[in-house]
Structure 1
Amino acid sequence: MAEGVLFEHAGRVLGVLTALTLQEIQLSLGVKAELENLMNTVSTIQAVILDAEKRSSHNHEIKDWLRKLKDVIHDADDLLDDFSTEVLRLKVMVGDVMTKEIKV
């Protein structure tokens, strides 16, 4: 009887691992493309910023635009920090769940 319970737990762990693996593969494929797009966009923004910084000493509108852009970039950086923290938190939680499932 105990062997049946252990088998069921092992089956549940295997099911969870399979589901997590499939989700991670799907997420990584979608996220990878989005990250590449984001990196290209940021690269373009950097080039525009360099040009704008050179011109900002002569143009108050550009100075204002750069100040606003700086605020947006700080907000984006904070959002990415929050996202990274959440990903790590979820990984820890999944690790805890998997450890508990295996111990049972």
Structure 2
Amino acid sequence: MVDILLSALVSSMVGNLNTSALQELGIALGLRDELDNLESTLSTIQAVLQDAEEKQWKSKPISNWLRNLKEGAYDADDVLDEFVTEALIQEAEKEKGLKSQTGIHFYGEI
């Protein structure tokens, strides 16, 4: 049977959408509406998953559906993680650029 952690994975994805770096990158790229829509969709999916996870023990079709959905959710989570990582890299580069412009250096920095 599919483990009950699928809705937790979706919850983690919603959390990733709310990181400040991703929000800033989304605004900079004009993706704010798309990120809001994705968050809304994921919240709806999470509610359906919680219901399906309770019913999977009584229904083989639901169990199979959850197994397939889980594979897709992991793929989507990987893509979102890459997007968040890129947002953090851009945020760090922006901060580094601001420090070099102002001449501010911290201990251990060159």
Which category describes the TM-score, using the shorter chain as reference length? Answer: 0.5 to 0.7
- Matched letter for residue 32 of structure 1: R
Q: What is the deviation of 1:88?
A: 1.8
Offset at residue 54 of structure 1 (A): 2.2
RMSD between superposed Cα atoms in Å: 2.8
Determine the C-alpha separation between the residues in 1 that align with 2:77 and 2:95. Answer: 27
| Counterpart residue number, 1:58 | 58
Change (3 A) 1:65 1:91: same
Give how far 1:92 is off: 3.0
Structure 2 contact 57–63 (Cα < 8 Å) conserved: yes
| Alignment TM-score, normalising by the size of structure 1 | 0.58
- In 2, the alpha carbon distance for the partners of 1:27 and 1:35 equals 7
Equivalent in the alignment of 2:70 = 70
State the match for 1:44 in structure 2. 44
Residue 80 of structure 2 aligns with an amino acid whose one-letter code is L
Report which stretch shifted further, 72-81 or 85-94. Answer: 85-94
Higher helix proportion: 1
Where structure 2 has 5 or more consecutive residues not aligned to the other structure, the ranges are 1-23, 104-110
Structure-2-length-normalised TM-score: 0.56
Alignment of 1:1-104 (within 5 A): 27-28=26-27, 30-97=30-97
Instruction: For CA contacts below 8 A with separation 6 or more, give which structure has more relative contact order.
Output: 1
Residue aligned with 1:57, SS: coil
Q: Deviations over 1:45-65 (max 9, x none)?
A: 112112212221121111011
1:96 is displaced (CA, Å) by: 4.4
Q: Deviations over 1:43-87 (max 9, x none)?
A: 111121122122211211110111111122122222111111112
The code of the aligned residue for 2:85 comes to: T
Output the amino acid matched with 1:91: E
Query: Distance in 2 between the 1:69 and 1:101 partners?
Result: 48
